[in-house]
Amino acid sequence: MAWMTWDTIINLADEVDYLWRGDVSWVKWIYTFIRYAPILHAGIVINHYGTKGNSSSTCKAYIAYELAFLEALTMAVEVILMIRVFVLYKLNQILRVVILVAFLAEVVSMIVTISFVIIGQHYTDDCIGDASPEIFVGYWCVLPLSLRWVRFTTHAAQDHRPGV
Whether the CB-CB separation of 99 and 86 falls below 8 Å is answered with: yes
Q: What is the pTM of this model?
A: 0.74
Amino acid letter, residue 164: V
Kindly report the average pLDDT of the chain as a whole number.
81
Q: 97-129: per-residue pLDDT in tens?
A: 888 888 888 888 888 888 888 888 888 888 887
Whether the CB-CB separation of 31 and 19 falls below 8 Å is answered with: yes
What is the rounded distance in angstroms from the CA atom of residue 158 to the CA atom of residue 112? 33
Whether the CB-CB separation of 85 and 154 falls below 8 Å is answered with: yes
